[in-house]
Amino acid sequence: MMKRIIPDTITSCNLLCGSISVFLATQGAFLWAFVFILAGAFFDFFDGLSARLLKAPSPIGIQLDSLADDITFGLAPSMMLFCWLRPILGWWAGLALLMAAFSALRLAKFNVDERQHDSFIGLATPANAIFWGGICCMPYAMLRFDWMAWALIGLSFISCYLLNAEIPFFSFKGFKRDKVVIISFLAGCVILIGYCIAKAVQLHHIEFAFFSGTACILWYVVLNLLLACRPKK
133, 178 Cβ separation under 8 angstroms:
no
Whether pLDDT at 160 is above 60 = yes
pLDDT at site 215: 94
Q: How confident is the model at residue 114 (pLDDT cuts 50, 70, 90)?
A: confident
pLDDT at site 1: 57
Which whole number is the average pLDDT over 7-18? 89
pLDDT at site 204: 82
23, 30 Cβ separation under 8 angstroms:
no
Span 17-66, pLDDT tens digits: 999 999 999 999 999 999 999 999 999 888 777 766 666 666 777 788 88
In angstroms, rounded to a whole number, what is the distance separating the alpha carbons of residues 63 and 49? 16
Instruction: Compute the Cα dihedral for 222, 17, 104, 138 and give only its sign.
Output: negative
Which whole number is the average pLDDT over 201-210? 85
> Is pLDDT larger for residue 113 or for residue 217?
217
Which whole number is the average pLDDT over 99-109? 93
Mean pLDDT score across all residues of the chain: 88
The string of DSSP codes covering 94-118 is GGGGHHHHHHHHHHHHHHH-TT-SS
Cα–chain-centroid distance for residue 46?
A: 16
Which whole number is the average pLDDT over 156-172? 93
Whether pLDDT at 214 is above 90 = yes
39, 88 Cβ separation under 8 angstroms:
no
| pTM for this predicted structure | 0.90
> Is pLDDT larger for residue 88 or for residue 233?
88
H or E stretch including 121?
Answer: strand 119-121
46, 98 Cβ separation under 8 angstroms:
no
Whether pLDDT at 72 is above 60 = yes
Contact partners, residue 44, CB within 8 Å, separation at least 6: 11, 14, 65, 68, 69, 72, 73, 126
Whether pLDDT at 78 is above 80 = yes
